[in-house]
Chains A and B, each alone.
Chain A
Amino acid sequence: MNDEDYPVRELLRMAVDDVRRPVAVPAGELIAKARRGRRLRRTLGAVTAVAATAALVTGVGLVHPSRAAPVLSGPAAGSAVPAAGRASWVDVPGVGRFSLIPPDRRQAAPALTGRDLDGGSVSLAQFRGKVVVVDFWGSWCAPCQAQAQGVESVAAASAAQGVRFLGVDVSDPAPSAARAYQARYGLSYPSLSDPDRVWAARFPRGVVDAQAFPGTVILDQDGRIAVAGPPSGLTGPELKAVLGLVLGHGG
């Protein structure tokens, strides 16, 4: 019998015919997991000293003392070069993960500028000297909707501390939909209209996912990127706690 006659195809089919695949992670979760991993690899650099961060956190009023001890997570296996400036992932219990970039490694944010949703001009430059929260959202984006109210309440509460918010309205099909969104959640801050999704991609790699929203970036008083939020942005309570870290840090 030569090779061509041997029924290898049929044998292989027999070998897998009755094998049941284990229950698999749903496709959506798998996609999210892959993107979280990418974010980690991009932004994760050397982990700063635990002591330094602990001092930083306890110096802040916004984080409740019971959850004030941050856990620094180790770098992911084989993590790549952190193009976004070296950041450490800080895991504040009860708050979540985000990357806080040490002051000496912060990169400048792109000069966001353009029209707001009412046609007026708006730019990052007008907030010079303030800590700025850049909030990427779209009226089509369900997780953005879920977070909008919480984000707005932090915007209102932190204004007195000199924090300013700038929205970036991403890929909205019509300005009217975006304006309705602003009205529905009572957003007090201006949003830059970004129908062609250009601004997220102008941030350094790994700071904000240009494909998935919402996204949160916090800039220090010098307009440099201090915090790259997790891929899903920061919810109100998370944002409040993280802002505390930035303000406590002296910007």
Chain B
Amino acid sequence: MGRDDSALREFIDGRREHLFRSAFLLCGDRDEADDLVQSALLNVVLAWRRVERIDNVDAYARRTLVNVFIASRRRRWRREQPHGELPELPAPAVDVEAGMAVQAALSRLPLKQRTVLVLRYWEDLSVEATAELLGMREGTVRSHASRGIATLRSFLPRGISELQKEDA
């Protein structure tokens, strides 16, 4: 109703898709991702006048999204050990559709490994920024990242990652 909502609307419309994808990678569920994004955006709206001045709305929105996600899994997040055992599950068959296979593998990753991978490799945050956002030491972030990659690799059919590697 106020007159200066256009920038806010523009931000919401422009960034929602990206936020949704980040949320989906974190939680692995379309509807839940949508809820997470909505919660994050509600916070952005309320903080808008403040964050607009801070001039890094994107970072604020990302931080809020991650916080909302972690809050939704608070108990598991706290309990999770930094070096969890790899579950001994067979890798899925090679003929599973590639995107689905990666989704499935991601969703089986321990929470912190998954979150670190999403922030480091999807949001392209530095180790320092990831550590700051998650309130972890940089060494812990590195360890989660490297464990996460190893776990992901073990969950994925060999064909997928090798094929991707050749493309990349």
Residue numbers of A with Cβ under 8 A of B are 3, 5-22, 24-25, 27-28, 30-35, 37-38, 140-141, 143, 171, 211-213, 231-232
Q: Which residues of A contact B34 (CB under 8 A)?
A: 21-22, 24
Neighbouring A residues of B8 by C-beta, 8 Å: 27, 31
**What is the distance, in angstroms, from B51's C-beta to the closest C-beta of chain A?**
13
Q: In the complex the two chains form, what is the Cα distance from A9 to B25 in whole Å?
A: 12
Q: Which of B1, B152, B164, B167 contacts A212 (CB 8 A)?
A: B1
- Complex partner residue of A6 from B2, B103, B161, CB under 8 angstroms: B161
Partner pick for A8 among B13, B24, B149, CB 8 A cutoff: B149
Return A227 CB to nearest CB of chain B, in Å. Answer: 20
- Asked if B93 is at the interface (CB within 8 A of a chain A CB), the reply is no
Contacts A10-B164, A16-B24, A22-B30 supplied; 15 other A-B pairs, CB < 8 Å = A3-B146, A6-B149, A12-B102, A12-B118, A17-B99, A19-B24, A21-B34, A22-B31, A27-B8, A30-B45, A31-B8, A34-B43, A37-B46, A212-B2, A213-B2
In the complex, are the beta carbons of A21 and B20 less than 8 A apart?
yes
A1 to B68, CA, bound (A): 35
Chain B contacts with A in 16-66, Cβ cutoff 8 A: 16-17, 20-21, 24-25, 30-31, 34, 37-38, 41-43, 45-46
If the complex has contacts A12-B102, A15-B102, A212-B2, are A7 and B165 also in contact, measured as CB distance less than 8 A?
A: yes
How many angstroms from the CA of A21 to the CA of B13 in the assembled complex? 13
CA distance A24 to B1 in the complex (A): 20
| Shortest 3 CB-CB contacts between residues of A and residues of B | A34-B45, A27-B12, A212-B1
Binding site for A on B (CB under 8 A): 1-3, 5, 8-9, 12-13, 16-17, 20-21, 24-25, 30-31, 34, 37-38, 41-43, 45-46, 98-99, 102-103, 106, 117-118, 120-122, 145-146, 149, 152-153, 156, 160-161, 164-165, 167-168
Given A19-B24, A24-B34, A30-B42, A8 contacting B99 (CB threshold 8 A): no
Chain A residues, Cβ within 8 Å of B12: 27, 30-31
Given A3-B146, A19-B24, A31-B8: A11 and B152 interface contact (C-beta under 8 Å): yes
B165 contacts A5, CB within 8 Å? yes
Report the bound CA distance from A128 to B9 in whole Å: 43
Query: Are the CB atoms of B153 and A31 closer together than 8 Å?
Result: no
State how many angstroms separate the Cβ of B38 from the closest Cβ of chain A: 7
In this complex, which of B21, B120, B152 has the most chain A Cβ atoms within 10 angstroms of its Cβ? Answer: B21
- Which residue of A has the minimal Cβ distance to B166? A7
Whether the pair B38, A30 counts as a contact (CB closer than 8 A) is yes
Cβ contact within 8 Å between B17 and A21: yes
CB pair B25–A34 under 8 Å, yes or no, is no
- B9 touching A12 by the CB < 8 A rule? no
With A27-B9, A30-B12, A31-B9: A7-B168 Cβ-Cβ less than 8 Å: yes
> Known contacts A6-B149, A33-B42; is A21 also within 8 Å of B16 by CB?
yes
Identify 28 residue pairs between A and B in the complex whose beta-carbon atoms are under 8 Å apart, listed by A's number: A3-B145, A3-B146, A3-B149, A6-B153, A7-B161, A8-B120, A9-B168, A11-B102, A11-B161, A12-B102, A12-B106, A12-B122, A13-B122, A14-B98, A14-B102, A15-B103, A19-B21, A19-B30, A20-B30, A22-B31, A24-B37, A27-B9, A28-B5, A30-B42, A34-B43, A34-B46, A211-B2, A213-B1
- In the complex, the answer to whether A24 meets B16 with C-beta atoms within 8 Å is yes
Report chain A residues within 8 Å CB of B120.
8
Choose among B41, B42, B45, B99 the residue that contacts A18 (Cβ–Cβ < 8 A): B99
Assuming the A-B contacts A11-B164, A30-B38, are A143 and B25 also in contact, with contact meaning beta carbons closer than 8 angstroms in the complex?
A: no
**Assembly CA distance A41 to B160 (angstroms):** 49
Q: Which residue on A lies nearest to B165, using beta carbons?
A: A7
A12 touches B25 (CB 8 A): yes
Instruction: Kindly list chain A residues whose C-beta atoms are within 8 Å of the C-beta of B161.
Output: 6-7, 11
Separation of A18 and B24 alpha carbons in the complex (Å): 11
